[in-house]
Chains A and B, each alone.
Chain A
Amino acid sequence: MRFDGPWRFDSLRTNVLNKYLFLAFSALWAIFFLYAWTLSRRQARLWRELEELKGKLGSVRSTG
C-alpha cells in the first residue's frame, strides 16, 4: 500500500465526514457492545437462577 506521509491534523475532519469510515467503526462498536450486553444479561440471569436453586436445595436438605 502507498502512503502520502505523516498524518495531518486537518484530516480529522475528513475522517469524521467520511460516511463509510464512520459507519464501519460505528457498526463494529455496536456489534461489540450488543454482544457484551447480551453476555452480561445472560450471566446475571444464570447467577440468579443458580442462587435460587442452591437456596431451594438447601431448604429441601434441612427439611429432609
Chain B
Amino acid sequence: MSKILSSVHLFVTLAWMIVAFWMIFLYAPQELTMGEVQRIFYIHAPSGWVAGTAYGIVFLASVIYLWKRSPIADDLAHAAGEVGFVFCSCLLVTGPLWAKPAWGIWWTWDARLTLTFVLWLLFVSYLMLRSYVSSPGRTATLAAVVGIIGFVDVPIDYMAIRWWRTQHPQPVIAGGEGSGLDPRMFLTFMVCVGAFHCLFSYFLVQRFRLARTRRELGALRRALAIRLSED
C-alpha cells in the first residue's frame, strides 16, 4: 500500500513539475527590465519558501520531541533538516546566478542575503551536530535545541527586505502598495511554489522512511546482540 501511495506521490510531483516548467518558459510573459533571466525567479523564490517551510517543520518537530520525547518527531525533524538543506542550497546557487546579470555582482552582504546564508549555515550545523554527537538521546536533545533557537532566523530573514533597505529586491508578494506581479506571472509563481512543496513533501516522506528503517535496524542489532550474548 505504501509503495502504491509513494508511486502516486512521485507521479503527481513529476506531473506538477512538468506543468510548472511549461508555465515558466511558455506561459509566463517576459519581464521588461531583466528579460529572460528573470525566469530564474520562478525557481529561486519557491526554493526559499520551501527552505522556510522545512525549518518550520524542524522547529515544530523539535518542540514536540522536547515535550513528548517522541522518536517519530525526532526522525521528522532530522528528515526536514536534511531536505531543507537541499532546497536552501538551491536558493543560494540560483540567487547569485540571477544576481550577476541583474546587479552586475554575484554576491553582496546585505541583510537578506546574509540572513539566508546564516539559515544555510544553521541547516549545516544542525546536520553536523546529528552526525558528530555519538549518544542517540543526547544528539536528539541537542539537535532539538538548535532547531528551536535557529528558527529565529526564518521570520527575520522573511522580514529583512521589509525592514531594511537592501540590494535584494523589495517583496513582490504581500509587499503592500506598489508591489505585485502580472496575473500570469503570479499564477506561474504559485504553481511553482506548489510544485516545489510537492517535491519537498516527496523527499521528506522518503527521508523520514529512511530514518524509521535505520531505527528499526538499530533495534534489530540490539536484539541480535542480546540473543548472541545469551547463547
Contact = CB atoms under 8 A, between A and B. Distances in A.
Interface of A: 1-8, 11-12, 14-15, 18, 20-21, 23-25, 27-28, 31-32, 35-36, 39, 42-43, 46-47, 49-50, 53-54, 56-57, 60-61, 64
Given A46-B213, A50-B216, A60-B224, A32 B98 contact: no
12 contacts: A3-B31, A3-B185, A4-B29, A7-B29, A8-B30, A14-B35, A20-B37, A27-B90, A27-B93, A39-B206, A50-B216, A57-B227
A3 B182 contact: yes
B30 A7 contact: yes
Given A15-B25, A57-B223, A28 B94 contact: yes
B43 A25 contact: yes
Given A3-B185, A53-B224, 16 more contacts: A1-B38, A1-B185, A3-B29, A12-B25, A14-B35, A18-B36, A25-B43, A31-B90, A43-B209, A50-B213, A50-B216, A60-B224, A60-B227, A60-B231, A61-B227, A64-B227
Contacts of B32: 2-4
Given A43-B213, A46-B217, A24 B98 contact: yes
A32 B230 CA distance: 47
Interface string B17-33: 00000000111111111
Interface in B67-88: 83, 86
B29 A6 contact: yes
B37 A18 contact: yes
B138 interface: no
Interface of B: 25-33, 35-40, 43-44, 47, 83, 86, 89-90, 93-94, 97-98, 100-101, 172, 181-182, 184-185, 199, 203, 206-207, 209-210, 213-214, 216-217, 220-221, 223-224, 227-228, 230-231
Contacts, number: 119
A57 B100 CA distance: 58
A46 B26 CA distance: 42
Contacts of B185: 1, 3
Given A53-B221, A57-B220, A60-B231, A31 B93 contact: yes
Contacts of B199: 32
B228 A24 contact: no
Contacts of A4: 29-32
B86 to A, nearest CB: 5
B83 to A, nearest CB: 8
A13 to B, nearest CB: 10
Contact of B36 (A5, A11, A46, A53): A11
A28 B147 CA distance: 26
Contacts of A50: 213, 216-217, 220
B210 A21 contact: no
